[in-house]
């Protein structure tokens, strides 16, 4: 139920009265975002987004709030909705509306109808630039609001799954404007997907269940950037980590990183906690549910809630009930209990707070700089998915190191010449 009685902007949020708490937490996050702070100062001076309408569909967190404020201070006129029904922080949404004058359409726990109506509300803002996380906004724009496409100059995309969807659209010749794949910046996925997802997924599982991970068989499905971080952090908690993969190279990598690797049907029989981070569908399905131990816990940290086949699990269960806020118990007909966390949605955002601000600092620095780049360069770009320019990526890394007070060496002229030559160095 939304209560926007004292909100002055168009918005749909849970409760404007949460704004005080949201503001304090947004300020707390900002302290750990020094790169974004630097960009914000530059944006205030240079106004690179002056008069540009941005439609943003991102997880509505305190870190996102700081990105929104940075874009606003760069001259943009923004509307924001959520990129997942369970990832909104209602206090941050309230503060964005009340304290920062940014329209937000997002309520934690909203149903599908409300989720899509909020995307529509952001599209009603007639964005010239889209900023998406998972490509739902772009998809709706290209299917239900085609009339708006001529006014769009470009966009940015935050996550792996979104980039995959957009590349598929470009390949089919459907994509109608250029998009920068922020996810593919090294200063994004090396850190956000790996260390951010690694830590915050464990945080989500622990907050939801309060289980002791030490000594458990912890199954990580997918050894990509997120999976590597998660496996590393689960090992740090004392779990026996098992990796499942479909890519033989990633499987060898997991083995040589010291993890057990096996197929999901094998892992299903011995796992205590399972987390999918593949970006794929039905990774845990009927044949696996049939083998699970009593008490197995299933969670997902991939973008969509399709990685665990919950419809089939629901049909296989004789009853289900909510045992804790983000824990649903499925009672199987043979007496086993299986627990699903956070409705199979991104557990780090559903039950915890998503990635820590210091890692979102780099991801969102890339977002801010890529928006500026798109405004400056869209006329020269085709209707394709583009990487973040290398110089922007390097700039983000340099600013982050400076903020961390870390100095690194520089190539000498002699070394530069050597690296550019055929010489063996004598």
- Max CA pair span of the chain: 77
- Using alpha carbons, list the distances in angstroms from residue 96 to 5, 10, 105, 117, 367: 15, 12, 11, 19, 18
259 binding ligand NAD? (CB under 6 A) = no
| Number of residues engaging ligand NAD in binding (CB under 6 A) | 28
278 binds ligand NAD (CB under 6 A): yes
CB of 87 to ligand NAD, least distance (A): 9
- Binding residue for ligand NAD, selected from 102, 179, 182, 226, defined by CB under 6 A: 226
9 contacts 97 by C-beta, under 8 angstroms: yes
In this structure, are residues 344 and 282 in contact, taking their beta carbons and an 8 Å threshold? no
We find the least distance from the C-beta atom of residue 388 to ligand NAD, in angstroms, to be 15
Interface with ligand NAD, residue 193, by CB under 6 A: yes
- Single out the segment in contact with ligand NAD by CB under 6 A; choices: 24-32, 207-215, 220-228, 267-275: 220-228
Q: Which of 4, 83, 89, 301 binds ligand NAD (CB under 6 A)?
A: 301
Least distance in Å: CB of 215 to ligand NAD?
24
CA R_g for the chain:
22
Choose one: 75-83, 245-253, 322-330, 417-425; the region binding ligand NAD (CB under 6 A). 245-253
Residue from 153, 186, 211, 246 binding ligand NAD (CB under 6 A): 246
Structure tokens at 54: 């941005």
Site membership for ligand NAD, residue 223 (CB under 6 A)? yes
H/E element, 129: strand 129-132
Name the DSSP letter for residue 190: I
Check: CB of residue 291 under 8 Å from CB of residue 262. Answer: no
The Cα–Cα gap between 364 and 63 comes to 8
**Would you say 83 and 132 are in contact if contact means Cβ atoms under 8 Å apart?**
yes
Closer by beta carbon to ligand NAD, 351 or else 375: 351
189 near ligand NAD (CB under 6 A): yes
Applying CB under 6 A, the span of 3-11, 101-109, 138-146, 222-230 interacting with ligand NAD comes to 222-230
Site string for ligand NAD, 159-188 (x = CB under 6 A): xxx---------------------------
Site string for ligand NAD, 352-391 (x = CB under 6 A): ----------------------------------------
Which of 14, 34, 149, 24 lies closest to 88, judged by CA?
Answer: 14
Answer for the pair 183, 162: CB distance below 8 angstroms, yes or no.
yes
Nearer to ligand NAD, 124 or 184 (CB): 184
Q: Give yes or no for residue 279 binding ligand NAD (CB under 6 A).
A: yes
Report if residue 224 touches ligand NAD, rule: CB under 6 A: yes
Q: Is beta strand 327-332 parallel, antiparallel or unpaired with respect to 337-341? A: antiparallel
Q: How far, in Å, CA of 143 to CA of 299, rounded? A: 31
- Determine if 48 is a binding residue for ligand NAD (CB under 6 A): no
Contact flag: residue 261 with ligand NAD (CB under 6 A): no
* Total residue count of the chain as it appears in this document: 426
For residue 87, state whether it binds ligand NAD (rule: CB under 6 A). Answer: no
Cα–Cα dist 69/67, whole Å: 5
The interface with ligand NAD within residues 117-146 (CB under 6 A) comprises none
Report CA torsion sign: 245, 227, 136, 115: positive
Q: Distance (Å, rounded) from C-alpha 353 to C-alpha 372?
A: 28
Q: What ranges in 261-382 are assigned the alpha helix state H? A: 264-270, 286-289, 310-316, 347-350, 357-377
Is position 277 an interface residue for ligand NAD (rule: CB under 6 A)? yes
Strand ranges of the sheet holding 129-132, from the earlier edge strand across to the other edge: 104-105, 77-81, 53-57, 129-132, 154-157, 179-181, 385-387
Q: Residue 166 or residue 392: which is nearer to ligand NAD going by CB?
A: 166
Which of 76, 283, 357, 385 is close enough to bind ligand NAD by CB under 6 A? 283
Which one of residues 115, 195, 225, 330 is an interface residue with ligand NAD (CB under 6 A)? 225
Give the residue nearest to ligand NAD (CB): 224
Query: Could you list the residues that contact ligand NAD (CB under 6 A)?
Result: 159-161, 189, 193, 197, 221-227, 244-247, 250, 277-280, 283, 301-303, 346, 348
């Amino acid at each position: 139920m939304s209560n926007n009685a004292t909100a002055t902007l168009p918005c749909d949020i849970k409760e404007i009265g949460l704004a005080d708490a949201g503001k304090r937490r947004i300020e707390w996050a900002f302290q750990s975002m020094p790169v974004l702070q630097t960009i914000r100062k530059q944006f205030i001076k240079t106004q690179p987004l002056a008069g540009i309408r941005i439609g943003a569909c991102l997880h509505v967190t305190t870190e996102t709030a700081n990105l929104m404020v940075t874009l606003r201070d760069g001259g943009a006129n923004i509307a924001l909705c959520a990129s997942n029904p369970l990832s909104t922080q209602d206090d941050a949404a309230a503060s964005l509306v009340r304290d920062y004058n940014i329209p937000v359409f997002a309520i934690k726990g909203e149903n599908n109808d409300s989720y899509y109506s909020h995307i529509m509300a952001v599209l009603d803002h007639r964005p010239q630039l889209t900023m998406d996380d998972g490509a739902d906004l772009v998809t709706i724009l290209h299917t239900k609001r085609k009339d708006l496409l001529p006014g769009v100059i470009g966009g940015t995309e935050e996550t792996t799954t979104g980039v995959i969807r957009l590349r598929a659209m470009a390949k089919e010749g459907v994509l109608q404007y250029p998009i920068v794949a922020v996810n593919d910046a090294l200063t994004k996925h090396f850190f956000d997907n790996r260390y951010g997802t690694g830590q915050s997924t464990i945080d989500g599982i622990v907050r939801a269940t309060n289980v002791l991970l030490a000594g458990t068989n912890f199954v990580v499905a997918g050894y990509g950037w997120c999976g590597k971080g998660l496996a590393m952090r689960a090992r740090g908690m004392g779990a026996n980590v098992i990796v499942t993969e479909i890519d033989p190279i990633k499987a060898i990598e997991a083995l040589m990183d010291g993890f057990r690797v096996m197929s999901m049907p094998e892992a299903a029989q011995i796992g205590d906690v399972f987390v999918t981070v593949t970006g794929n569908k039905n990774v845990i399905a009927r044949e696996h549910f049939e083998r699970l131990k009593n008490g197995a816990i299933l969670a997902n940290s991939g973008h969509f809630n399709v990685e665990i086949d919950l419809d089939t699990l629901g049909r296989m269960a004789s009853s289900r009930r909510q045992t804790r806020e983000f824990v649903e118990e499925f009672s199987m007909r043979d007496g086993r209990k299986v627990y699903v966390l956070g409705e199979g949605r991104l557990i780090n955002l559903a039950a915890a707070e998503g990635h820590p601000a210091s890692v979102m600092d780099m991801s969102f620095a890339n977002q801010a700089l890529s928006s500026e780049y798109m405004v400056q360069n869209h006329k020269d770009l085709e209707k394709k998915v583009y990487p973040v320019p290398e110089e922007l990526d390097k700039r983000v890394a340099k600013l982050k190191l400076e903020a961390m007070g870390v100095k690194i060496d520089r190539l000498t002229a002699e070394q530069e010449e050597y690296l550019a030559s055929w010489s063996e160095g004598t």
